[in-house]
Amino acid sequence: MKRSGGSAVGIKQTRPVVRAGTVTTPAGVRAAGGHCGIKPERPDLALVVTDAPAVAAACFTTNRMAAAPVQVSRSQIASGRAQAVVINSGNANACTGEAGRRDAWEMVDLTAGALSMSRGLVLVASTGVIGVPLPMDALRRGIPALAGALGPHGEDAAAAILTTDAFPKTGAVEIEIEGRAVTLGGIAKGSGMIHPCMATTLSMVTTDAAIAPALAQAALRRSVERSFNRVSVDGDTSTNDTIFLLATGAAGHAPLTEAADPAFPIFQDALDALTEHLARLLVLDGEGASKVIEVSVSGAASEEDAQRAGEAICTSPLVKTACHGGEPNWGRIVAAVGRSGAEVDPDRVAVSIGGVVVVAAGLGERANLPAAAEAMRAAEFGIAVDLGLGAGQWTGWTCDLTERYVRLNSGYLT
């Protein structure tokens, strides 16, 4: 459907600014979060509900050991509609066999019953320790309790989905379509086991925009590819990675039905801005991390080559430990690029760290190393690689690898 009118339609905008907000910032969404007993004390259960059935989209982990809630929600999302999402933390319900699948379906049924809605409108997600059965008695108490506590409590929901996170990840974006205010809000969790593939950690985005299911799915997948799929903490992809998008349509504009709609790029830009914001927060809160590093690759022979080179840098333990120590060891960077599978001409490679050139035409700029080391003292800095071969480019985000990461993950169960 083509439109005219409305100050935002057809006008190229600067990227929307992410502000404070959560999944309850858009119209037509309520939430609750609290403690049901999966964890000893901290919040461990979240519920997000729309006032009426909403358009729904999702992306899930490509890990073949996909957890039971991923299997259930993959089935549920096929309708393109949902009204409730229930998420527990402290237990991943992964590698729990048929019993785990029954428990995930029981979470669906408990939620549907507590909210008096069809089970087909309920999505489920879990995060936490792998291989441990869900304590269903806690959920049988907790889900009805949260259903009775729904309100503008997005912060409570954001806190309830955390595991080793140091802080909740939240944000919201406001745009205008056809003269009407449209809002997107999101929450996310993740600190370790982060290297998403066609998914995220656990994240949820809501919006009061009106959009067709197929277009919502396409928009979400594009945003995920440009945000969550470009971050890495430790190179591990979880069994439970999930992102949900629910669109209530409460903003009141005519539905977006095709990518050619002049208003669709405005929505896509807003979704991109929000997912990138949430993804960057995951890296900022990486387990044991003290620095955030933006990795950019340009001049690659193809976009695929740029991605190969960028991901090799982002996941290299040697690069990440050098970043922690503030050591401009560019040899580790070019070695990662060289093994990435990307086309490389060693005599054309250039590397900058923190804006300081350390490699030009394949040769080190030794006199610049002290300045690069100084730049690496910052909490955030960039590594830029130019392969000098073409127009391919890619940008992603990683963090340093510290002693604290090892301590956290060598005693996770004990």
Task: Decide: residue 119, CB within 10 A, 0-12 exposed, 13-18 middle, 19+ buried.
Answer: middle
Residue with tokens 């208003």: 263
Question: Is 170 a catalytic site residue?
Answer: no
Per the structure block, which two tokens stand in for 379? 């909490």
Q: Which residue is listed with tokens 């070019």?
A: 334
In 305-346 the beta strands, taken as DSSP E runs, fall at none
Give the active site residue among 200, 207, 237, 242: 200
Q: Residues 104, 68: contact at Cβ < 8 Å?
A: yes
Take residue 237 and report the two structure tokens written for it: 């992809």
DSSP 159-220: HHT-SS-SS-EEEEEEEEETTEEEEEEEEEE-SSS---SSS-SEEEEEE---B-HHHHHHHH
Cβ atoms of residues 29 and 84 within 8 Å: no
Cα separation, 96 vs 88, whole angstroms: 15
Rg (CA), the chain: 22
Tokens representing residue 249 in the block: 């349509």
By annotation, the residues acting in catalysis are 200
